[in-house]
A = this chain, B = another copy of it.
Amino acid sequence: MDLKPTKPLSGFIELLPAQQRCFDYCANKMQNVLQLAGFSLLDLPAIERAEVLTDKDNWDEIETQMFLFQKGDTKMGLRYDGTVGLSRYVAGHLNNLVFPFRASQFSKRYRGERAQRGRYREFYQMDLDIMGINSLSTNYDAEIISVIGAALDSVAEFIGPNEVRVGSRPFWDALFDYLELNEKQKKEIFVLIDKKDKMGDDDFSEGLKDTLNNPDKENIIKSVFADGYKKFVKKSEKLDAAIAELTDFMKVLDGMGVKNAIIDLSIARGLAYYTGLVFEFKLINHPELGTAAGGGRYADLAGKFSKTKIIGVGAAIGFSRIFASMLENNQIDLTRFSEPIDVAVLVMGDENLQYAMQVLNELRSANIPSIPYLDTDKKFKNQIEYADKIGARFAAIIGETEVAKNVIALKDMKSGNQETLSLADAIKKIKGA
């Protein structure tokens, strides 16, 4: 019989135990920040009705981007982000939740497209969202940015410092009105702005020309990327309102202690959802990872599920994008995640098993991670080799002498020193070491 492949499908992540411990450690650190900030951790289904996942019905095309399947008459698929499920959930539980409602999610999402280098088809994102009914101060946008910053800072020992750039959808809307663009032009230009980083300056200029065919207007739009918003002050009421919102917001951020934020009007965050301020985090030492986290404000989160107007500000941290990628590229020192075990309990013969297991239970009860070697007929040499391989700090050796005297032989695996101790003294030594 041919053997089946042992590699995971391309685009799927599979970590070794020490890598996984580091991944989980970072997730826990960041989740802890979110929990202190009062975000309720939700765990929503990974599968949603297709009609919830998308408003489109060009199934052939959608099928190339998502994992879809049909059960009976129902088309369903794996979620590609956390927002679709969250908006359904919040709309469905309006009376069970307290608003402003703060939710976080740390879950797997899926992209069904063909695997590409550096693009995962299954990946974790960590979302945080604050939702209000009918009103929600932009102070909450600032708090979300502050909390994401704190979450990333909590794992700075691995990923280094971060910075956040803040953009404004209303600024562009106001500028497009000021330039008297029609709806089609507005949409096309916005797509160009969103893709500017990927397409490069030349293609961007070309695109502007194709859509506008007006050198003055083209230059005005380009000037935003070079000089920012300053020359647009007092050009129109709408522009002034957008600029005031953005500059006031930066003061609030500063007041909250967020010192690594700058205005960057090139931040667009795609076409979907967002209607207000938008922002992106980058890792200063890891530009190769692109956007580490991003989000913004949406004026009507759950319009397709509910007539109640739910205003939200939310963001997703690209958890796998950061950590799976750094781990796969050996950019994190795993030494401290390689040796999680304090004691290997070595049992010299089945007749000593009962005593050894009592020792094991006591060690674990004392919160000391311990593994027994239970192929008790194996030689001491094999057993001590195992203790060494799993990186145990100590070996607790149990033979007939130890059982008879109600003690254990505790070997320090680094120094090689061995002492005979009562269990109570051994526990003290292990905890003190």
Closest chain-B Cβ to A114's Cβ sits at a distance in Å of 7
- Rounded to whole angstroms, the CA-CA distance of A44 and B44 in the bound complex is 19
- A76: chain B residues at CB < 8 Å are 9
Closest chain-B Cβ to A328's Cβ sits at a distance in Å of 14
- Is the CB of A332 closer than 8 A to any CB of chain B? no
A137 pairs with B9, CB closer than 8 A: no
Contact of A37 (CB < 8 Å), options: B9, B72, B364, B386: B364
B74 pairs with A369, CB closer than 8 A: no
- A51: chain B residues at CB < 8 Å are 4
With both beta carbons as reference points, the residue of chain B lying nearest to A52 in the complex is identified as B4
Contact of A306 (CB < 8 Å), options: B3, B37, B102, B143: B3
- A203: chain B residues at CB < 8 Å are none
B375 pairs with A36, CB closer than 8 A: no
B370 pairs with A38, CB closer than 8 A: yes
Per-position contact with B for A111-138: 1 when CB-CB < 8 Å, else 0? Answer: 0101000000110000000001001110
- Is the CB of A427 closer than 8 A to any CB of chain B? no
Q: Which of A86-94, A279-287, A396-404 is the interface stretch?
A: A86-94
- Rounded to whole angstroms, the CA-CA distance of A357 and B390 in the bound complex is 46
- A49: chain B residues at CB < 8 Å are 4-5, 9
A136 pairs with B375, CB closer than 8 A: yes
With both beta carbons as reference points, the residue of chain B lying nearest to A89 in the complex is identified as B14
Per-position contact with B for A360-378: 1 when CB-CB < 8 Å, else 0? Answer: 0100100111111111110
Known A-B contacts A6-B92, A74-B9; A369 and B36 likewise in contact (beta carbons under 8 Å) = yes
Contact of A7 (CB < 8 Å), options: B9, B92, B306: B92
- Rounded to whole angstroms, the CA-CA distance of A17 and B96 in the bound complex is 9
Kindly identify, within residues 201 to 255 of chain A, every residue whose CB is under 8 Å from any CB belonging to chain B: 252, 255
- Is the CB of A418 closer than 8 A to any CB of chain B? no
A9 pairs with B47, CB closer than 8 A: yes
- Rounded to whole angstroms, the CA-CA distance of A23 and B9 in the bound complex is 31
- Is the CB of A304 closer than 8 A to any CB of chain B? yes
Per-position contact with B for A61-75: 1 when CB-CB < 8 Å, else 0? Answer: 000000111011010
B12 pairs with A41, CB closer than 8 A: no
A357 pairs with B255, CB closer than 8 A: yes
Residue with the greatest number of chain B CB neighbours at <10 A, chosen from A3, A38, A122? A38
- Is the CB of A191 closer than 8 A to any CB of chain B? no
- A68: chain B residues at CB < 8 Å are 69
- Rounded to whole angstroms, the CA-CA distance of A76 and B8 in the bound complex is 11
- Rounded to whole angstroms, the CA-CA distance of A108 and B122 in the bound complex is 14
- Is the CB of A24 closer than 8 A to any CB of chain B? yes
- Rounded to whole angstroms, the CA-CA distance of A371 and B114 in the bound complex is 42
Kindly identify, within residues 79 to 115 of chain A, every residue whose CB is under 8 Å from any CB belonging to chain B: 88-89, 91-93, 96-98, 100, 102-103, 108, 110, 112, 114
- A336: chain B residues at CB < 8 Å are none
- A361: chain B residues at CB < 8 Å are 146, 256-257
- Is the CB of A48 closer than 8 A to any CB of chain B? yes
- Is the CB of A341 closer than 8 A to any CB of chain B? yes
- Rounded to whole angstroms, the CA-CA distance of A163 and B74 in the bound complex is 41
Contact of A45 (CB < 8 Å), options: B13, B16, B88: B13
- Rounded to whole angstroms, the CA-CA distance of A16 and B4 in the bound complex is 42
- Is the CB of A334 closer than 8 A to any CB of chain B? no
- Is the CB of A181 closer than 8 A to any CB of chain B? no
B40 pairs with A143, CB closer than 8 A: no
Give the interface of A toward B (CB within 8 A). 1, 3-9, 12-17, 20-21, 23-24, 33, 35-38, 40-49, 51-52, 67-69, 71-72, 74, 76, 88-89, 91-93, 96-98, 100, 102-103, 108, 110, 112, 114, 121-122, 132, 135-137, 139-140, 143, 146, 150, 252, 255-257, 304-307, 340-341, 350, 353-354, 357-358, 361, 364, 367-377, 386, 389-390
Closest 6 CB pairs of A and B: A6-B92, A255-B354, A38-B371, A139-B374, A17-B40, A12-B45
